[in-house]
Structure 1
Amino acid sequence: MIYIGVTGWGDQDSLYASHIKPKDKLKEYAAHFPIVEVDASFYAVQPLRNSEKWVKDTPADFQFVVKAYQGMTGHERGEIPFKTKEEMFHAFKQSLTPYLTTGKLAMVLFQFPPWFRCSKENVEYLRFCKSQMGNIPCALEFRHQSWFEQEYYTKTLAFMEKEQWIHSICDEPQAGSGSVPIIIKATHGTSTLVRFHGRNQHGWNASGQKNWRDVRYLYRYNHHELNAWKDFVTQLQQESEHVYLLFNNNSGGDAADNAKMMMDILRIEYHNLAPRQLDLF
């Protein structure tokens, strides 16, 4: 099956009527798409009350991709409130309980930063992450090109397959060592993830700019660019039971529109979505 959605539901203004309250946005989002990426979990391990509400607000067949906490992937932008890595992983796994008990967890996404290079030390850390997560399905996304350089390309994919990492394939600007090419290869028989980050090459590496995070994902795919993915998705379906397509080009509010464009291109219509709320008039 192909699941199409976006990363986060809060900023998708094109989906919501003006009277929709923030607390009700996920309910309305679930009337449009069958999957969403939870980004709040990257910034803090979420309390159970949040994930309990989110699974309650969505239909039985709805799926979540939950982003791994930043301390687990070496971003560590703020203070990490855990004494050990093991304590941090345990707390994160506990936060997943509502998704797991309802069957709504598609996977946990480990997105590593651009400075996470292909090295023996980092390979060992990936093994540690996988051992800590146990049987929970986990996707792996690299941001440093070294993992897919000619010397390591085959070894990286073989390692991911052996360790049962779900491949998070990236459509992103080709902007030097801090980006990876599109690699159409499943490493897991059950699931494959594709994340569309946009192709804003200028904004991708402009980390010195004040509004860098606002422009990094500022991009709107055209029909031709997304249509080129038809054959790629067909190939991935032959290698993996489920293919998840998530749009992360949120800076200009383009993600939801591009996700719907992709649904049209692939001629997908979902029938188990939530009922849409009616406008006031």
Structure 2
Amino acid sequence: MIQIGLTGWGDHPDLYVSSGKERLQDYSSHFPIVELDASFYAIQPIKNSLKWIKETPDNFQFVVKCYQGITGHLRGDFPFSSLEEMFELYRQSILPFKEAGKLSMILAQFPPWFQCNKESVQYIRKVREELKDFDVVVEFRHQSWYAPEYKASTLQFLRENHLHHSVCDEPQAGEGSIPLVPIATTNKVLVRLHGRNTYGWVNPGNNVKWREVRYLYDYNNEELSSIRSVCEDLEKQANEVVILFNNNSGGHAASNAKKFQHMLGIDFEGLAPKQLDLFEGDF
């Protein structure tokens, strides 16, 4: 089974036919799955989780991103009394998704400075233990995890710890980027498509709008066709392939995802009712 969605539901104006407060409902009339990014910036109140669950169809799924304090992105003061408190509050915030049958997986995306070494491996083990009751997918950003001498061990480590593998399409721009490694380590695999804007990846700038530079990219038909082959091969390795387009900056993610869906000949069932299909006739 292949599921296609986008990272976040707030940056895709082509999908909306309602007011800003109903963007998730509009989104869920087009795609069956979404990446929840708000959970990265702050551990969300349970009331938010319940709200998002209520606003989506019964079969809708969330890939919930790990809080930044868990993955080592946090800058500034640590807002908890202990690591244990942080993990406990995070577990409480995502448990409603699991109980509702709407949690596809938790995404633990580690930063570019998280290198392949003994300390990092031990920390991933801790994360796995703290989140042992949940499906967890790991995404690396430092190239060392896939260096020739470590690649096989990295994948075997994920298998042994029942961790899903995040297969990434992104610019090849040195140590802070990873190659596309089309291998599933469990019965579920995540494919995240970040675009191929090499200049923006290396020179995102220091202002608050750096994401608008890094993820500005429009996949062409040839590139999408190549990615299709990768995903079809992954489907032979795993029962479920989740594909998320993250090239949001220029508004390309939704149209790229729709085009990709058309290439695969997939019709998603159980979506929210559509008031208007803005993409009708585009393909």
TM-score by length of 2: 0.95
Aligned to 1:277: 275
Matches within 5 A, 1:243-254: 243-254=241-252
Residue 83 (structure 1) aligned with residue 75 (structure 2): no
Residue 153 (structure 1) aligned with residue 160 (structure 2): no
Cα offset, 1:77, TM superposition: 2.8
8 Å contact kept, 2:204–2:213:
no
Identity, % of aligned positions: 53
Cα offset, 1:271, TM superposition: 2.0
Aligned to 2:109: 111
Aligned to 2:200: 203
Aligned to 1:144: 142
Aligned residues: 276
Cα offset, 1:278, TM superposition: 5.3
Please say which of residues 58-67 and 227-236 is displaced more in the overlay: 227-236
Aligned to 2:2: 2
Cα offset, 1:209, TM superposition: 4.4
Secondary structure, in 3 states, of the residue corresponding to 1:246?
Answer: strand
Aligned to 2:219: 221
Secondary structure, in 3 states, of the residue corresponding to 1:121?
Answer: helix
Secondary structure, in 3 states, of the residue corresponding to 1:193?
Answer: strand
TM-score by length of 1: 0.96
CA distance in 2, matches of 1:181, 1:228: 15
Secondary structure, in 3 states, of the residue corresponding to 2:175?
Answer: helix
Cα offset, 1:235, TM superposition: 1.4
**Runs of 4+ deviating beyond 4 Å:** none
CA distance in 1, matches of 2:87, 2:206: 33
The residue type paired with residue 83 of structure 2 is: K
CA distance in 2, matches of 1:49, 1:135: 21
The residue type paired with residue 7 of structure 1 is: T
Aligned to 2:58: 60
Aligned to 1:242: 240
Secondary structure, in 3 states, of the residue corresponding to 2:107?
Answer: strand
The residue type paired with residue 39 of structure 2 is: S
CA distance in 1, matches of 2:60, 2:123: 31
CA distance in 2, matches of 1:95, 1:205: 34
Task: Tell me the C-alpha RMSD between the 2 structures.
Answer: 1.2
Cα offset, 1:107, TM superposition: 0.2
Cα offset, 1:163, TM superposition: 0.6
Cα offset, 1:205, TM superposition: 1.5
CA distance in 1, matches of 2:216, 2:204: 14
Aligned to 2:181: 183
CA distance in 2, matches of 1:78, 1:251: 27
Please say which of residues 228-237 and 30-39 is displaced more in the overlay: 228-237
The residue type paired with residue 175 of structure 2 is: S
